[in-house]
């Protein structure tokens, strides 16, 4: 078990893609690719378990972290009334591990799933 606290950064690339005759002039004037950068604090915890039988090690680990990553830019099309934002509220992971121990060394493979509320 453990806890974590730190800083986090995100870089969200957004593409305006609305093809019709009315929306042709705006993207031609201001472009279609936009960048939303955010920074903030992230904190959470993790827990895991390893089991060894002979030289083989099998384990599982999970983590959950909350964050305040958010960034906003004004719309290039309607800057007085519209804005675009990116927000990450939490991240979570679940991983499994299998390894082979030899002396002070452990060779292992790890894989899993990660998700976020974006």
10-residue averages of pLDDT along the chain (118 residues)? 91 71 59 80 95 97 93 79 84 97 95 92
Residues spanned by the domain of 12: 2-117
pLDDT at 98: 98
Question: Which residues contact residue 103 at a Cβ distance below 8 angstroms, ignoring those fewer than 6 apart?
Answer: none
How many domains does the chain contain in total?
Answer: 1
pLDDT value at residue 58: 98
pLDDT of the residue at 48: 97
């Amino acid at each position: 078990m453990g806890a974590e606290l730190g800083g986090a950064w995100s870089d969200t690339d957004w593409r305006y893609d609305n093809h019709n005759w009315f929306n042709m002039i705006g993207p031609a004037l201001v472009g279609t690719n936009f960048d939303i950068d955010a920074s903030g604090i992230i904190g959470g915890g993790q827990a895991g378990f390893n089991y060894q039988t002979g030289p083989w090690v099998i384990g599982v680990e999970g983590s959950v972290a909350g964050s305040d990553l958010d960034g906003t830019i004004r719309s290039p099309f309607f800057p007085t009334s519209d804005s675009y934002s990116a927000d990450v509220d939490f991240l979570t992971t679940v991983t499994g591990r299998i390894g082979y121990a030899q002396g002070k060394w452990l060779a292992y493979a790890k894989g899993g799933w990660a998700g976020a509320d974006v």
